[in-house]
Amino acid sequence: MEQTPNHSLIRDLIQKNDLFDFATDYYFSHPKPTDTLQPVVTKKDFHLLMDYLKKKKTFPKSTAELNLEKAYEKAGKENQPEEVLNKYEELLKTYQQVNENILRQYQAYILDEINYDLIKRYFGEEGYTTYILRHDPEILKAKEILNDEKKYNKILGKK
């Protein structure tokens, strides 16, 4: 399986169990697929995750964004001028757009994690093993190397 991307928003999704919770919601609201070799959720379903995170108000946020929200709340309580409050709102909207773009950047990884979870739930360990042998990027790369004698020998240090 792929290594978790080194981005705070992705780590946050995993640590807060947002992907697990989405997979649970998906599992109970969709019929069991018939094919263990195909992903359960695909790129066209990614919007379901985005909508889920927005609806549950668990959309991942950076520490800087959380601090900005606190500052905005404090500025509102201190009756700061409307112009200042509007600037805070603009920055918060910018953060939201940037965060959505970051999630889209890691879409493949996120979908893989959700699919691994769903395949285990729908088809058990045997189905999961069948699935990862066909879809896990590291296993696919290993197969590619094993099937390419030049690459394989280069790794082994042979000529």
pLDDT at residue 3, as a whole number: 63
Separation between Cα atoms, residue 159 and residue 16, nearest integer Å: 49
Residues of the chain with pLDDT under 70: 1-4, 159
Full-prediction pTM beyond 0.85? no
CA distances from 100 to 18, 54, 86, 92, 118 (A): 15, 10, 21, 12, 23
- Alpha carbon distance 12, 109 (integer Å): 14
Give pLDDT, residue 62.
81
Which amino acid, one-letter code, is at 129? T
pLDDT of amino acid 122? 94
HSE (CB half, 13 Å, CA atoms) of 44?
Answer: 2
User: In the chain, where are the structural domains located?
Assistant: 8-156
Compute the distance between CA of residue 11 and CA of residue 88 in angstroms, rounded to an integer. Answer: 26
* pLDDT value for 116: 94
Token pair of 105, please?
């950047």
Phi, psi of 2 (to 5 degrees): -65, 150
Name the one residue in this structure whose structure tokens are 């399986």.
1
Q: What is the pLDDT of residues 3-21, one digit of tens each?
A: 668 788 888 888 899 999 9
